[in-house]
Amino acid sequence: MADVGPLLKHWRAARRLSQVALAAEAAVSLRHLSFLETGRAKPSRAMVLKLADVLDVPLRDRNTLLLSAGFAPEYAESALDAPALAAVREALEAILRQQEPYPALVMDRGWDIRRTNGAARRFFAFLHSGRTGEPPGPPNVLRRMFHPDGVRPHVTNWPEVAEALVGRVRREALGGVTDERAQGILDEVLHYPGVPATLRTLDVTGPQLPIVPIRYARDGLRFAFFSTVTTLGTPQDVTLQELRIECFHPMDGETRENVRRHVSETTAR
């Protein structure tokens, strides 16, 4: 495991702070901060947590900083089905139900799909009906969008959506939020058949559109959605901080009507 000094320097660079700025925000001397980054001084547990808080380091990576400094981790990583998270599961289910009759899902840091509402299950079953192939591995947003056996054949503006997804993963990676698994899945999907090689070198430093619609078509029916992403406020558990709730909202009356008539709960019965 890397020493804590280079990791602190990495996070400072990721947040685009100078040593002077970080020292001022953390109320520590510039000399001491410099010594911590170069390994000439060893931080206390309280100092590691203080700097991590100022740098807005994700909880998983705060544990890594503590371990690198020789301390035990601070934050638990609970299984989502653990008894201690029962209230959280109820809250997630309430959000998913509230989104009906439109799709919603819960994904983790690696973009694996952990929960869906009934609308999402019905909608993606509608898109996949009559086909036998499946993307590899557990249900995953990136694999589902990029694999030829996923939803890609039904996304009419797929190049635009693919570019937005790659940009989203890469921007998170630049901030240090993603982990090696998410980056590994991105590298995997960018080599699927039919994925343009230009996406592998996509420049994500420019301005981004605030909303990227996703447009589906199947059997003459068209659906246009935009999505919003929600996170849980001030979590003290690694698992909870890494959850993302993505809700899909109709962009037009045609989508609302097609959902109601062809993929709603009443239609599925």
Taken in order 225, 205, 54, 180, is the CA torsion positive or negative?
Answer: positive
What pLDDT score does 255 carry? 97
pLDDT above 90 covers what percent of the chain? 73
Query: Is 16 a residue whose pLDDT tops 80?
Result: yes
Query: Is 129 a residue whose pLDDT tops 80?
Result: yes
Report d(CA 142, CA 198) in Å as an integer: 17
Nearest to 179 by CA among 12, 64, 16, 9: 64
Query: Is 269 a residue whose pLDDT tops 80?
Result: no
Mean pLDDT within 124-131? 91
What pLDDT score does 264 carry? 78
Burial of 73 (0-12, 13-18, 19+ CB in 10 A): middle
What pLDDT score does 114 carry? 96
pLDDT tens track for 205-226: 666 666 789 999 999 999 999 9
Query: Is 175 a residue whose pLDDT tops 60?
Result: no
Q: Which amino acid is at 175?
A: G
Query: Is 142 a residue whose pLDDT tops 60?
Result: yes
pLDDT tens track for 39-60: 999 999 999 999 999 999 989 9
| DSSP H or E stretch at residue 4 | helix 4-14
Mean pLDDT within 49-72? 94
Look up the pTM and report it: 0.84
In the predicted model, what is the mean pLDDT of the chain?
90
Mean pLDDT within 110-129? 94
Confidence band, pLDDT 50/70/90 cuts, at residue 176: low
